[in-house]
Structure 1
Amino acid sequence: MDYQLLKFVAMLIMTAFGDTSLTIEACSPNDIKALMSFKNGIQIDTSGRLKKWVGLNCCKWEGIVCKNLTIRVKEINLPGFISKDGDLFQTQMTGLISPSIVLLTSLEVIDLGGLVGLSGIIPLTIGLHLTNLQKLYLYGNNLTGSIPENIGDLQNLQELALQENKLSGSIPLSIGRLKNLKRLLLYSNQFSGIIPYSLGNLRNLVELDFHDNALTGNIPDEIGKLQALENLDLSNNLLSGNLPSSLTNLTVISVMYLDTNYLEGTILFPSRPGEMSSLAFLRLHNNHLDGKIPSNFGYLVSLQRVSLSNNKLEGTLPSSIGNLISLTEFYISENFFSGLIPKSIGQISQLIMLNISRNFIEGPLPQEISSLQNLQTLDLSFNHLNLSYIPKWIANMSSLSRIYFAGCGIHGQIPDLLQTTISPIQELDLSMNLFNGIIPSWIGNLNQLYMLNLSKNYIHSHIPHSFRNLHDLAILDLHSNKLTGSISPIFDIEQQGIFGGSLRFVDLSDNKFSSGIEKIGVGEQCDIQFLNLSHNILKGVLPNAVGRMSSIYSLDLSFNELGANLPKVMENLTSLETLKLQENDFTGKIPIGFLKLMKLKELNLSYNLLEGEIPKGKPLIDFPKSCYSGNKGLCGKPLSPCKL
């Protein structure tokens, strides 16, 4: 009698007589062979699950689920992330995925996702043998090779997740035969070639994500047929051509009778949504797409997030975007859009994030923007707005906390209206404008300020002492102004220790600061990662406290009047990648501890008063002569040998 039939009969007998003492221990020989082959291909299993695979009753093995009657393996559930005592942690399996896994012909689920050490290829005959497969999760592995063409034979497949591997080649045309597919995730691989037009057959598809690959060609019009699609992400590829008109297809009528009148031409029903009326997330940024946004784009009525940034799109923004009443995020920066912002934008009442920076949008700004009372971030930077001043209605927007008006042609003094905004300002970028006058002291009252950028203006003043109150300030950029006096108010923020040293990025370069260098690194904690004080007239000695800046990766003190020896404690700055100290008056020897700065990629000590032998060894010997030139007393490789 057939083995499977024998087990089936035994199960019926057990059920009929209510005898639970009988058990059928052995799994199918093919299933045992396939699972043991998989186990043998794994050299390391940090979860310890495979160690428990002993005996012939594979249905009791951890991660294995069988069908009740046939005792055939139905699921392999060995994800990298597992829960233990309520905590989620990642395990690892190192080895090759066995091609014998296709012997498990009753498989419905394969979940090996997140096993970062799992390598090899997708079994070449997967489509020929695993015809019952519904879910295939091989994401976050280290798989190479291509997707087998016979993948299209998995007619029952509902979810295909191959993201975050090293898969390459083209996306097979046969993938369009997976008509039950709901999720297709191929992102963060190395796929090339075109997006196959056959995807238009996947009418049940809800999520399509190909971002971070090297796909080329046009976005096929057939994508517009995916009426169930909610998430479309093709960002970070090399796609070109226009946005598919099928994205916003409307019912088109060529001939129509109204009463006794005969009308000719094409008429669009303006209230009818497009075919992709379920689309909520559209991400096409970082490609080479050109052309215009279709005039009926606003009929994608379910859109919540749209990102078209960093393409070559042009033309005016269609007024139909006012119909996107569910839209919360709209990113169209770094394109060639021109004309005015349509007044209809004020109808998008749910909008939280609006970024139209780096285009050719013209002024004036429509006051209708002030109706967006949910708007938190507004980025109008680097357009042809020629604002001259910041509109007063900005202060009355109840949720606006991130304001980016860089390069908008604003002049005069920094307006007081910014201190009276309804919503506390967290990020403020007014760089590359024509501001003059002083930095107002009331900025120190913006106690939730996280980022402040006033660089490349004509501001001439001291840094207000009120800056000491900016306990949440992490990013400060004041470079290329006419600021004078001491830099100490900046580092007084760090010394207070109230907030654990919030500053991470500080650029005060290209000003006329003269004092305060002794404050660097002083305080309870200093986690600055980027510090640029170059091109000032700073005088004095670097304090030993500079050695406490253990997180810093870029330090530029060049073109100042700093002197005395280089502190030996700088050897503690082991995260440094860039160190620029040229054009100062530093004296003495280069500390031998500089050999500990193994991450250094850029070093410049030129044109100081340094002397003695350059410490022998990496990384110092890897830099060219120009990094040490202008120090008459220095010698040793890469300069001339020292005289005995």
Structure 2
Amino acid sequence: MKKMWFNFKIVWLLAVAITLVGAGEICHSNDLKGLEGFRVGIRSDPSGRTETWTGRGCCSWEGVTCDNATGRVTEINLPGLFTSDDVPVQTSMSGVLSPSITLLTSLQAIDLSGLIDLTGEIPPTIGSHLPRLRKLALSGNKFKGTLPESIGKMSELQELYLSENSFTGSIPGSIGNLQGLRMLDLHSNQLSGAVPESITKLSNLERLELQNNFLTGSIPGSIGELKCLKELDLSNNSLSGRIPSSITRLKIVSIIYLDNNHLVGEIPRLGQMPSLAFLRLNDNNLTGKISYSFGFLSSLQRVSLANNALHGLIPSSIGNLRSLTELYLHNNRLSGQLPASMSQLANLLIFSVSYNLIEGPLPHQMAALTNLQTLDLSFNQLNFSNIPKWLLKLPSLSRIFLAGCNIKGGLTEDVLTTPSPLQELDLSANHLTGSIPGWIGKLTELYSLNLSLNGLVDTIPGSIMDLTSLGVLDLHSNKLAGSLEWGYKGRSLTFLDLSDNSFTGGIEEIGKGTMQVDIQYINLSHNMIKGRLPDSIGRLESLKSLDLSYNSLDSELPAALGNASSMENLKLQRNHFTGKIPDEFLKFKNLRDLDLSSNSLEGRIPYGEPLIDFPRGSYLGNKDLCGAPLEPCRP
């Protein structure tokens, strides 16, 4: 009887233990050890989530999920961006990822993304110890080291996010073993070497992001085998060679059909990558031509092949890409005329083909691009003489870039007739003459105006100061003259370049009132500006670059300029500045470029960084200036 009672008690205790394990009251010893090791590696957790990690009931800890049946930990979810009481919260976490995390052998998901200050390495044995892992998300941290070869052993892995870290070395070839992988994101690291051919074995892959690394070699020739791929981004690397034909190859379905007993032919079908919507191969060293079969990637929506060395014609088949919304082809060696078939791109919003060898005339059929918002044809061989009137009638066009298109004469009021209000207008490096017309002030939504490198004369019209949305004004290298007007009424101006003209006075008003207080870039160099640099310039606290060189300014350097603590570039050479360099210039902790040469400055250069770090040339030509890095001052 006692033996039966004893056995019953054991069974009851086991049942209770199993119940408690299932309820999360008792944590598996390995899981507990692994989680405690992880917590020890965390130095700071502002979110307070790991403060709940007390006792042995780890299944109730915040960010930890367990399997109800086994009680084993299956998920660690502690991302930097999470929701608390239905409110989005962005937090951080500093510390080191402990290798003890590999003790949690039932893990299916780890999400530590976006914690910003989490560092360490991926444990080399992670693949051997965590074979059930389906999601590994460590993006947006400071992880370093190499990607372990054992990653290829995580046969159930579906999502791998390791972007925006400092991983080095090559992409392990074993990654091709992850047959269930759908998302592979390694962008913005320091990875080098070739894109492994084994990646093309990932038949279920939907997104491949390897951009912003140091990858070399050619794109794997069989990458077109990734038939489920929707996004392919290999941009900002050093890849070379041609765009693989497997990406664009046209397949033929082996079906022959008859019409009244006569052979009609075979049914064509896009083969390799029928789902590809986003293709970014820009900023590499790719060569060759854009294949005619490129036009059969019918699902493409966004394409960037910019900043490569592609040559030849833009194929007429591009008109087949009816879903295309963005097309970036700038900075290549493409030639010939734009194909008339572009008129079929009814959904096209942005088209950039600047810095190529495209010839005119433009096909008038492009007038059918009713949704086009941005058009950049700059620096080709178009020889417009005038802006085509049909172009200015495109109903959605609000950003026009026609720099270096050989446009001649004065600005005409046709620019005012655009159906959609202009937001950006670039007519720089043309042959514009005459004055800037007063009607320019009617472009009330204009954000960026670039008329630089032309032959414009006279003064800046007062109406330009009425453009309250204006953020960028570039009029450099013209023949503009007169006194500078600083009556700008808006607060949007961040970039101002009036250099290489013949302006004289007016700088005394800079920084007064509400004008340009958020400006970041000012270049007034190579003019004939006289007078003083006012103390009010110190109000421009966001200023990063100030170039007043090659003028005739003759005041002392205002100490208030030191308030612009964000300053990165300061060029005041070739003026007549007098007095001492203010000690306040030592506040320029971000200063990278300084030139105070060829003035009449005197006294000791304030000692300290960054002023002592600049070469002697930054101070030469001031005969009474002394101190490091110049000769020592006399006692």
TM class by shorter chain equals over 0.9
Gaps of 5+ in 2: 1-9
Identical columns (%): 54
> What's the offset of the Cα at 1:429?
0.6
The verdict on how the C-alpha distance between 1:401 and 1:241 changes in structure 2, with shifts beyond 3 A counting, is same
Which stretch of the first structure deviates more once superposed, 63-72 or 254-263? Answer: 254-263
Gaps of 5+ in 1: 15-19
Match of 1:508 among 488, 493, 498: 498
> What's the offset of the Cα at 1:187?
1.0
Q: Which amino acid aligns with 1:73?
A: V
The verdict on how the C-alpha distance between 1:544 and 1:145 changes in structure 2, with shifts beyond 3 A counting, is closer
- Cα deviations across residues 341-371 of structure 1 (Å, max 9, x unaligned)? 0000010010000000111111111112221
> What's the offset of the Cα at 1:251?
2.0
C-alpha separation in 2, matches of 1:560 and 1:21: 80
Q: Does 1:592 align with 2:583?
A: yes
> What's the offset of the Cα at 1:436?
1.0
1:10 corresponds to? 15
Q: Which amino acid aligns with 2:290?
A: I
C-alpha separation in 2, matches of 1:23 and 1:108: 19
In the alignment, is the contact (CA less than 8 A) between 1:198 and 1:222 conserved in 2? no
- Cα deviations across residues 7-46 of structure 1 (Å, max 9, x unaligned)? 99738997xxxxx999672122222122222222223222
2:150 corresponds to? 150
1:634 corresponds to? 625
Match of 1:438 among 435, 445, 448: 435
- Classify the secondary structure of the residue corresponding to 2:250: coil
The verdict on how the C-alpha distance between 1:8 and 1:396 changes in structure 2, with shifts beyond 3 A counting, is farther
> What's the offset of the Cα at 1:238?
1.2
Map 1:577-616; keep pairs closer than 5 Å: 577-616=568-607
1:136 corresponds to? 136
Map 1:114-513; keep pairs closer than 5 Å: 114-252=114-252, 272-488=269-485, 491-493=486-488, 496=489, 499=490, 501-513=491-503
- Classify the secondary structure of the residue corresponding to 2:456: coil
Which stretch of the first structure deviates more once superposed, 557-566 or 372-381? Answer: 557-566
C-alpha separation in 1, matches of 2:285 and 2:78: 39
In the alignment, is the contact (CA less than 8 A) between 1:429 and 1:452 conserved in 2? yes
Q: Does 1:52 align with 2:52?
A: yes
In the alignment, is the contact (CA less than 8 A) between 1:108 and 1:135 conserved in 2? yes
C-alpha separation in 2, matches of 1:477 and 1:592: 33
Q: Does 1:28 align with 2:33?
A: no
Q: Give me the CA root mean square deviation.
A: 2.6
In the alignment, is the contact (CA less than 8 A) between 1:43 and 1:94 conserved in 2? yes
Match of 2:544 among 534, 539, 553: 553
- Classify the secondary structure of the residue corresponding to 1:152: helix
The verdict on how the C-alpha distance between 1:587 and 1:143 changes in structure 2, with shifts beyond 3 A counting, is closer
C-alpha separation in 2, matches of 1:311 and 1:6: 72
- Cα deviations across residues 237-289 of structure 1 (Å, max 9, x unaligned)? 111111111112222489979789899xxx985x5223211110001111111
- Classify the secondary structure of the residue corresponding to 2:269: coil
The verdict on how the C-alpha distance between 1:116 and 1:543 changes in structure 2, with shifts beyond 3 A counting, is closer
Q: Which amino acid aligns with 2:15?
A: A
> What's the offset of the Cα at 1:305?
0.3
C-alpha separation in 1, matches of 2:208 and 2:323: 21
1:520 corresponds to? 510
The verdict on how the C-alpha distance between 1:11 and 1:404 changes in structure 2, with shifts beyond 3 A counting, is farther
The verdict on how the C-alpha distance between 1:181 and 1:600 changes in structure 2, with shifts beyond 3 A counting, is closer
The verdict on how the C-alpha distance between 1:538 and 1:228 changes in structure 2, with shifts beyond 3 A counting, is same
Q: Which amino acid aligns with 1:551?
A: S
In the alignment, is the contact (CA less than 8 A) between 1:121 and 1:144 conserved in 2? yes
C-alpha separation in 1, matches of 2:354 and 2:341: 19
TM-score, normalising length: structure 2 = 0.93
1:17 corresponds to? none
The verdict on how the C-alpha distance between 1:576 and 1:141 changes in structure 2, with shifts beyond 3 A counting, is closer
C-alpha separation in 1, matches of 2:24 and 2:160: 33
In the alignment, is the contact (CA less than 8 A) between 2:22 and 2:69 conserved in 1? no
The verdict on how the C-alpha distance between 1:580 and 1:394 changes in structure 2, with shifts beyond 3 A counting, is same
In the alignment, is the contact (CA less than 8 A) between 2:132 and 2:156 conserved in 1? yes
Q: Which amino acid aligns with 1:524?
A: T
The verdict on how the C-alpha distance between 1:522 and 1:301 changes in structure 2, with shifts beyond 3 A counting, is same
The verdict on how the C-alpha distance between 1:456 and 1:13 changes in structure 2, with shifts beyond 3 A counting, is closer
C-alpha separation in 1, matches of 2:458 and 2:101: 72
- Cα deviations across residues 573-614 of structure 1 (Å, max 9, x unaligned)? 222222222222223333333333333332222333333443
The verdict on how the C-alpha distance between 1:144 and 1:342 changes in structure 2, with shifts beyond 3 A counting, is same
> What's the offset of the Cα at 1:201?
2.1
In the alignment, is the contact (CA less than 8 A) between 1:7 and 1:24 conserved in 2? no
C-alpha separation in 2, matches of 1:641 and 1:99: 56
C-alpha separation in 1, matches of 2:556 and 2:89: 49
In the alignment, is the contact (CA less than 8 A) between 2:555 and 2:576 conserved in 1? yes
Which stretch of the first structure deviates more once superposed, 280-289 or 408-417? Answer: 408-417
Q: Does 1:110 align with 2:110?
A: yes
In the alignment, is the contact (CA less than 8 A) between 1:251 and 1:268 conserved in 2? no
C-alpha separation in 1, matches of 2:51 and 2:544: 44
In the alignment, is the contact (CA less than 8 A) between 1:199 and 1:222 conserved in 2? no
2:89 corresponds to? 89
Which stretch of the first structure deviates more once superposed, 48-57 or 453-462? Answer: 48-57
- Cα deviations across residues 467-503 of structure 1 (Å, max 9, x unaligned)? 1211011111101000011220xx211xx3xx4x211
Which stretch of the first structure deviates more once superposed, 117-126 or 443-452? Answer: 117-126
C-alpha separation in 2, matches of 1:226 and 1:424: 43
> What's the offset of the Cα at 1:394?
1.6
C-alpha separation in 2, matches of 1:563 and 1:24: 78
> What's the offset of the Cα at 1:190?
1.7
In the alignment, is the contact (CA less than 8 A) between 2:386 and 2:408 conserved in 1? yes
In the alignment, is the contact (CA less than 8 A) between 2:254 and 2:266 conserved in 1? no
C-alpha separation in 2, matches of 1:110 and 1:42: 16
In the alignment, is the contact (CA less than 8 A) between 1:7 and 1:70 conserved in 2? no
Q: Which amino acid aligns with 1:564?
A: S
- Cα deviations across residues 318-343 of structure 1 (Å, max 9, x unaligned)? 11110111100000111111111000
- Classify the secondary structure of the residue corresponding to 2:75: strand
TM-score, normalising length: structure 1 = 0.91
The verdict on how the C-alpha distance between 1:639 and 1:130 changes in structure 2, with shifts beyond 3 A counting, is closer
Which of structure 1's runs of 4+ aligned residues deviate more than 6 A?
5-9, 11-14, 253-263
In the alignment, is the contact (CA less than 8 A) between 1:248 and 1:300 conserved in 2? yes
Which stretch of the first structure deviates more once superposed, 545-554 or 570-579? Answer: 570-579
> What's the offset of the Cα at 1:204?
1.5
In the alignment, is the contact (CA less than 8 A) between 2:203 and 2:226 conserved in 1? yes
C-alpha separation in 1, matches of 2:45 and 2:429: 55
